[in-house]
C-alpha cells in the first residue's frame, strides 16, 4: 500500500486536526514531542504528515506531494490553486474585513484612490476590483498590518479579524465585511481518483466530527 500524505498548516490548526484524526483512530505520537521535525509517519496505517507553512499547503497538495491538505480558507482564496475543497471543518473561524479608522468610511465608500495594506493582495484585489469596482493601490505587508493606517502607510487594511481585539487595541474598526473564513480539507485532483476509497473514508470521519461541532 502507498503512503497517504497529509500536509498540515503548522501550529494550532495542525494540533486541532491531529485531535480530530485521533478521535478517528488515526494517531501520530511522534508529532506530540514538539520537536523541529517536519515529517511524521504512521507505519501501521501507511500515513505521512508534513508540517508546512500555511501558505505552502496548497502548493504541496496541488503538486501531489501531499494527497490531503488542511488549511484555512484565507490561504486557499489567496493562493487560488487547482484543488478539490471537500470539507469545511468549522474550526479556526474568523472573517476577512476591511478595517481602518472610522473617519475613513466616507473615503472607503466613495474614493477611487484608496491605499490598502494587506498580507492578502489577491483577496484585496478580488474584493475591490471585482465586487466594489474600485481602483486601489495595494501595499503588501507580511504581518502586523494594523500598523499601516496608524502610521499613514495606507488608508485601510484588508485582514483577518478573529476576536477583534487587535483592531480595538489599535483604535481601528471593521469598515466592511468581506467573507467568513474557517479551516478546510483539500484534496489533490489525481489522488482523489487513485486513492478514492481511503480518502473518502477519512473525509467521512472528519465530516461527522465537524458536524458535531456546529
Q: Does 130 bind ligand PRP (CB under 6 A)?
A: no
SS3 120: coil
CA 90 to chain centre: 12
For residues 127-155, b (16+ Cβ closer than 10 Å) or e, as one string?
Answer: bbeeeeebebebbebeeebbebbeeeebb
Q: Does 166 bind ligand PRP (CB under 6 A)?
A: yes
- Angle separating helix axes 12-23 and 196-213, nearest 10 degrees: 100
- Least separation in angstroms between residue 142's CB and ligand PRP is 7
Q: Does 183 bind ligand PRP (CB under 6 A)?
A: no
Q: Does 151 bind ligand PRP (CB under 6 A)?
A: no
Stretch that binds ligand PRP, among 30-38, 42-50, 153-161, 172-180 (CB under 6 A): 153-161
Report the DSSP pairing between strands 84-88 and 39-42. unpaired
SS3 86: strand
Stretch that binds ligand PRP, among 5-13, 80-88, 155-163, 177-185 (CB under 6 A): 155-163
Cα distance between the two ends of the chain: 35
Of 91, 97, 161, 175, the one binding ligand PRP (CB under 6 A) is 161
Of 163, 193, 211, 212, the one binding ligand PRP (CB under 6 A) is 163
Stretch that binds ligand PRP, among 9-17, 37-45, 140-148, 177-185 (CB under 6 A): 140-148
Contacting residues toward ligand PRP, per CB under 6 A: 143-146, 159-166
Amino acid at each position: 500500500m502507498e503512503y497517504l500524505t497529509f500536509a498540515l498548516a503548522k501550529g494550532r490548526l495542525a494540533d486541532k486536526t491531529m485531535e480530530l484524526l485521533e478521535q478517528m483512530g488515526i494517531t501520530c505520537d511522534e508529532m506530540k514531542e514538539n520537536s523541529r521535525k517536519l515529517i511524521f509517519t504512521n507505519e501501521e496505517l501507511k500515513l505521512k504528515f508534513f508540517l508546512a507553512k500555511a501558505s505552502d499547503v496548497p502548493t504541496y497538495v496541488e503538486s501531489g506531494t501531499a494527497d490531503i491538505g488542511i488549511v484555512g480558507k484565507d490561504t486557499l482564496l489567496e493562493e487560488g490553486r487547482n484543488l478539490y475543497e471537500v470539507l469545511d471543518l468549522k474550526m479556526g473561524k474568523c472573517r476577512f474585513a476591511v478595517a481602518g479608522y472610522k473617519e475613513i468610511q466616507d473615503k472607503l465608500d466613495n474614493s477611487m484612490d484608496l491605499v490598502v495594506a494587506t498580507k492578502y493582495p489577491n483577496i484585496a484585489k478580488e474584493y475591490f476590483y471585482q465586487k466594489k469596482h474600485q481602483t486601489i493601490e495595494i501595499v503588501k505587508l507580511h504581518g502586523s498590518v494594523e500598523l499601516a493606517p496608524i502610521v499613514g502607510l495606507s488608508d485601510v487594511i484588508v485582514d483577518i479579524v478573529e476576536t477583534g481585539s487587535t483592531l480595538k487595541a489599535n483604535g481601528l474598526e471593521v469598515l466592511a465585511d468581506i467573507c467568513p473564513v474557517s479551516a478546510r480539507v483539500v484534496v489533490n485532483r489525481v489522488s482523489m481518483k487513485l486513492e478514492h476509497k481511503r480518502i473518502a473514508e477519512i473525509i467521512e470521519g472528519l465530516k461527522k466530527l465537524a458536524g458535531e461541532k456546529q
